[in-house]
Structure 1
Amino acid sequence: MTVQAQIFRFALVGAVNTGTYYGCYLLLLTWLPYIAAHVVAFALSMTGSFFLNAYFTYRTRPTWRKFLLFPLTNAANFVITTGGVYLLVDVGGHSDRWSPLVAAAAAVPVTFIVSRVIMLRPERGAPGSTPESLTESVASK
């Protein structure tokens, strides 16, 4: 698969992930302060993003190793979006409903690059890192 195809698929997954995040965020915003709602929604959507990117974007099987490294793909995204939400809401006085969407746009290129490196990295053959290990573990629950 070409890099352009991966970028296109990554964008589609990103759109689904953003919708998932934003729906969770709005739901949680009714009970939690906006930063707490952001953090919880981010964690939930990141799990879904891992599986969508593994199967759809990069066409690779999920492994425990990739699953544990995947949050690194979102570390920069998390810092950029959290900082952006704070700056937009508390400093800029913008709506806490729309600010997460604006902040997320700035993080997309960095997230793609780091995600591609982690998801397409060859396995080292460590115990528990076989392609089937995570899929079987998740499927059995």
Structure 2
Amino acid sequence: MQMKSTTSPSATKAQVIRFIIVGVLATGLQYGVYLALVSILPRFAPSLANTVAYAVSFVFNYIASTRFTFRVRSTAKRGAGFVLSHVVNYVLQTLLLALFLHLGIPKHFALIPVFAICVPTNFILVRFFLTGILH
């Protein structure tokens, strides 16, 4: 089940819709794990909680992105690209989380603006590394 590398508007729209579905699930999973860690373990630093939550979400996201969103076969090259895109995304999330916490946003809400910035960036990176399509 391999999708052709196409940039037709309907193919792009379908990928965006599937990305949104997977993204909502992965983001919800990440946010849920993050909230559980910072709530249950009050001394759990927000950045460490986000790291653990990101790792859990990452595994789900890779499987769902290859099989459902972009419908491509998982290969070492695609896996490496996915990891690279998520390293960039994770670093961006970590920096933005620190910034928003520094600006006084409560730790329970600080990931929300982070997601607003990082999710669109991640779509572009993941799409490129899994399909070779940049736009």
Report whether the alignment pairs 1:2 with 2:3.
no
Q: Distance in 2 between matches of 1:48 and 1:6?
A: 17
| Cα displacement (A) at 1:99 | 0.7
Structure 1 length-normalised TM: 0.77
Letter aligned with residue 91 of structure 2: V
Match of 1:96, SS?
A: coil
Q: Deviation at 1:69?
A: 2.6
Contact 1:77 1:110 in 2 (8 A): yes
**More off after superposition, 26-35 vs 12-21:** 26-35
**In 1, distance between residues paired with 2:79 and 2:112?**
25
SS at match of 1:2: helix
- The one-letter amino acid of 1:18's match is T
Report the Cα distance in structure 1 between the residues aligned to 2:74 and 2:26, rounded to whole angstroms. 17
More RCO (CA 8 Å, sep 6+):
2
Other-structure match for 2:7: none
Aligned to 1:96: 107
In the TM superposition, residue 82 of structure 1 has moved relative to its aligned partner by 1.2
Q: Which residue does 1:130 correspond to in 2? A: none
Corresponding residue number in structure 2 for 1:81 = 93
Report SS of the residue matched to 1:95. coil
Q: 2:73 aligns with which of 54, 61, 74?
A: 61
Once the two structures are TM-superposed, the CA of residue 64 in structure 1 deviates from its matched residue by 3.3
Return 5+ residue gaps in structure 1 as ranges: 122-141
User: How far apart, in 1, do the equivalents of 2:16 and 2:88 lie?
Assistant: 18
Identity of aligned residues (%): 30
Gapped regions of structure 2 (runs ≥ 5): 1-9
TM superposition outliers: structure 1 runs of 4+ over 4 Å: none
Q: CA deviation at 1:94?
A: 1.1
Q: CA deviation at 1:106?
A: 0.3
